[in-house]
């Protein structure tokens, strides 16, 4: 079950929230309903995999209590390492075993069947949440949760369990036991959810259709082979990768919007995960705006413990290398994701030690730096899109016009979708909220702005439902991670 489905929006969400509201005023009863709803939601994608989620939550629950009770610092550290190591081992087994075996077989020319291991949906996200909880208990930043089912609720909350944002236990510890529903937050939550739903159903899916028009074989429905991609003109690659950039942002930020909105409806407060990354003026600025919960996780639990930037230059570069190699592999068991992480590492090192861009540029300098950052993001998106490195190479060579600049098919796709691409690009910037904020401040338009603001969520849900009708399965891109 995915957020962007009629089943979820009009049945699961309505039913679960209705039961939640009717179950009484006690927080325990509400938490039980929320936990049951979350486990049912997660089990929809594979009932057997719920046991893995419950097991990992139990390991971290028990490990954190033992750590909290231990008095000697060395013992606490050893217990923390052991608990985290078990979580990482489970993640490696399910996510990277097939990748490792495939590469070993290829290296030694072994002709043997490769085992099939199903990747549990959202395992990367809830594993990192549980790891952050255990480490925070070790650091005495939070107290160990004594109730197992409360920790399981934290790990399995259906709002954000599958694709984030990665929520720290400290951020929702009070919400789990003492949250209060407020009318103003319910209203903001509904609006945020509606905007996220439309962003996914209308814009992200629309961009995905354009991407498929360029990079998917219409007969097989699979990504084009390297040979097929080699025949594309330059403009086809440019438009295809650019719309994939839009799709990535709109799709993933839509999920975060919906998660934050659903949390607000019942009193949970999740932190922002995106801040319009495509207006960033540098690579560093981009990563302060993109997937904020992941970048802050690696900063707080890998980068700073390694020494951060308070070390020698060579050591600092090594620290950055480790962080970005891990960031790349976190996204998937494929070499292109590792190269994607190292690609960002190279540009971050260049910015840190060679370019050293000034903060808060203005005017034409800001526009130029944003344009340059988008070019860097463009090539990063190519790395992210093509798991097959041969296909990546062919797409890259096409940019230099070996098949010409364009052709009739490319021109037709562009002509049919030009205004949609422009609109999706505008929505990916702060222009729309800036205009809305300006309208609400003007006395002449404030009343109209309030009325329109009240009607927009309902209109967006209707439009989204129309777009989703007949579209039985349209998962979010980050489900695979």
Q: What is the pLDDT of residues 123-138, one digit of tens each?
A: 999 999 999 999 999 9
pLDDT digits (tens, 9 = 90+) for 421-437: 999 999 999 998 888 77
What pLDDT score was predicted for residue 164?
Answer: 76
What pLDDT score does 452 carry?
Answer: 73
Q: Distance between CA atoms of 66 and 68, rounded to whole angstroms?
A: 5
* Confidence band, pLDDT 50/70/90 cuts, at residue 169: very high
Tell me what the mean pLDDT of segment 272-284 comes to. 95
The reported pLDDT for the residue numbered 348 is 96
**Average confidence (pLDDT) over 325-338:** 92
pLDDT of 163 reads 80
Calculate mean pLDDT across residues 183-197: 94
Determine the longest span between alpha carbons in the chain, in angstroms.
74
- Give catalytic residues, as residue numbers: 331
Q: How far is CA 4 from CA 74, 198, 281, 468, in A?
A: 47, 9, 32, 8
pLDDT given for residue 469 in this prediction: 85
Q: Is the pLDDT of residue 476 over 80?
A: no
Exposure b/e, 298-337, CB count within 10 A at least 16 = b: beebebeeeeeeeeeeeebbebbeebbbebbbbbbbbbbb
* Mean pLDDT on 28-38: 94
Residue 446 has a pLDDT of: 67
- Percent residues over pLDDT 70 in the chain: 96
Q: Say if residue 478's pLDDT is above 80.
A: no
Res 214 pLDDT > 90: yes
Token pair in block for residue 23: 């179950």
What mean pLDDT comes out for the span 36-55?
88
Closest CA to 277 of 378, 160, 188, 183: 378
Q: What is the pLDDT of residues 233-252, one digit of tens each?
A: 999 999 999 999 999 999 99
Quickly state the pLDDT bin for 451 (edges 50, 70, 90): confident
Residue 479's pLDDT is 60
Whether cis (ω within 30° of 0) applies to the bond prior to 165 is yes
Residue range 60-118, pLDDT digits in tens? 999 999 999 998 999 999 999 999 999 999 999 999 999 999 999 888 888 888 888 88
Report, as an integer, the average pLDDT of 8-15: 92
State the pLDDT confidence band at 280, using cuts at 50, 70 and 90. Answer: very high
Instruction: State mean pLDDT over 268-297.
Output: 95
Contact 258, 197 (CB under 8 A): yes
* Model confidence at 447: pLDDT above 80: no
pLDDT score at 435? 82
Tokens of 66: 């033992």
- Give the pair of three-digit tokens for residue 134: 């255990």
Mean pLDDT of the chain: 91
pLDDT of residue 36: 95
- CB within 8 Å of 49: residues ≥ 6 apart: 42, 43, 118, 120, 121
Average confidence (pLDDT) over 49-70: 94
Of residues 430 and 479, more confidence is placed in 430
Three-class HEC string of the chain = CCCCCHHHHHHHHHHHHHHHHHCCCCHHHHHHHHHHHHHHHHHCCCHHHHHHHHHHHHHHHHHHHHHHHCCCHHHHHHHHHHHHHHHHHHHHHHHHHHHHHHHHHHHCCCCCCCCCCCCCCCHHHHHHHHHHHHHHHHCCCCCCCCCHHHHHHHHHCCCCCCCCCCCCHHHHHHHHHHCCCCHHHHHHHHHHHHHHHHHHHHHHHHHHHHHHHHHECCCCCCECCHHHHCCCCHHHHHHHHHHHHHHHHHHHHHHHHHHHHHHHHCCCCCCCCCCCHHHCCCHHHHHHHCCHHHHHHHHHHHHCCCCCCCCCHHHHHHHHHHHHHHHHHHHCCCHHHHHHHHHHHHHHHHHHHHHCCCCCCCHHHHHHHHHHHHHHHHHHHHHHHCCCHHHHHHHHHHCCCCCCCCCHHHHHHHHHHHHHHHHHHHHCCCHHHHHHHHHHHCHHHHHHHHHHHHHHHHHHHHHHHHHHCCCCCCCCHHHHC
49 or 477: whose pLDDT is higher? 49
The C-alpha atoms of residue 64 and residue 144 are separated, in whole angstroms, by: 6
Give the range with max mean pLDDT: 131-135, 334-338, 437-441, 467-471: 131-135
| pLDDT at 474 > cutoff 90 | no
């Amino acid at each position: 079950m995915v957020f962007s489905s009629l089943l979820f929006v009009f049945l699961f969400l309505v039913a679960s929230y209705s039961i939640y509201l009717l179950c009484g005023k006690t927080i325990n009863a509400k938490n039980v309903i929320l936990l049951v709803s979350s486990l049912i939601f997660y089990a929809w994608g594979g009932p057997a995999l719920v046991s893995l989620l419950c097991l990992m939550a139990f390991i971290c629950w028990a490990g954190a209590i033992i750590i909290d009770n231990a008095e000697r610092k060395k013992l606490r550290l050893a217990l923390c390492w052991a608990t985290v190591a078990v979580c990482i081992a489970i993640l490696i087994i399910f996510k990277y075993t097939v990748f490792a075996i495939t590469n070993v077989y290829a290296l030694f020319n072994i002709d043997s069947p490769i085992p099939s291991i199903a990747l549990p949906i959202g395992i990367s996200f809830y594993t990192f949440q549980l790891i952050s909880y255990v480490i925070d208990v070790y650091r005495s930043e939070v107290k160990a949760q004594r109730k197992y089912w409360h920790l399981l609720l934290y790990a399995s909350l259906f709002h954000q369990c599958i694709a984030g944002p990665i929520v720290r236990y400290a951020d929702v510890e009070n919400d789990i036991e003492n949250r209060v529903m407020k009318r103003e937050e319910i209203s903001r939550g509904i609006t945020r959810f509606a905007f996220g739903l439309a962003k996914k159903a209308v814009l992200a899916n629309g961009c995905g259709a354009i991407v498929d028009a360029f990079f998917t074989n219409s007969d097989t429905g699979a990504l084009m082979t390297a040979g097929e991609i080699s025949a594309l003109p330059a403009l086809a690659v440019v438009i295809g990768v650019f719309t994939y950039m839009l799709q990535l942002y709109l799709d993933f930020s839509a999920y975060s919007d919906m998660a934050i909105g659903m949390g607000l409806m019942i009193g949970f407060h999740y932190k922002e995960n995106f801040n319009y990354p495509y207006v960033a003026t540098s690579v560093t600025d981009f990563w302060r705006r993109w997937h904020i919960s992941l970048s802050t996780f690696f900063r707080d639990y890998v980068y700073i413990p390694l020494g951060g930037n308070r070390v020698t230059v060579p050591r600092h570069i090594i620290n950055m290398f480790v962080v970005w190699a891990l960031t790349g592999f976190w996204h998937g068991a494929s070499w292109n994701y590792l190269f994607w992480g190292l690609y960002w590492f190279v540009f971050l090192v260049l910015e840190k030690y060679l370019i050293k861009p000034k903060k808060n540029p203005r005017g034409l300098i800001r526009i130029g730096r944003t344009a340059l950052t988008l070019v860097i993001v463009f090539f990063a998106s190519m790395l992210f899109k093509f798991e097959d490195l041969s296909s990546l190479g062919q797409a890259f060579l096409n940019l230099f016009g070996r098949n010409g600049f364009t052709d009739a098919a490319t021109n037709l796709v562009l002509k049919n979708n030009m205004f949609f691409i422009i609109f999706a690009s505008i929505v990916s910037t702060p222009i729309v909220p800036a205009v809305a904020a300006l309208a609400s401040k003007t006395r002449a338009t404030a009343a109209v702005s309030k009325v329109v603001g009240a009607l927009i969520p309902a209109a967006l849900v209707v439009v989204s439902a129309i777009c989703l009708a007949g579209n039985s399965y349209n998962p979010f891109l980050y489900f695979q991670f």
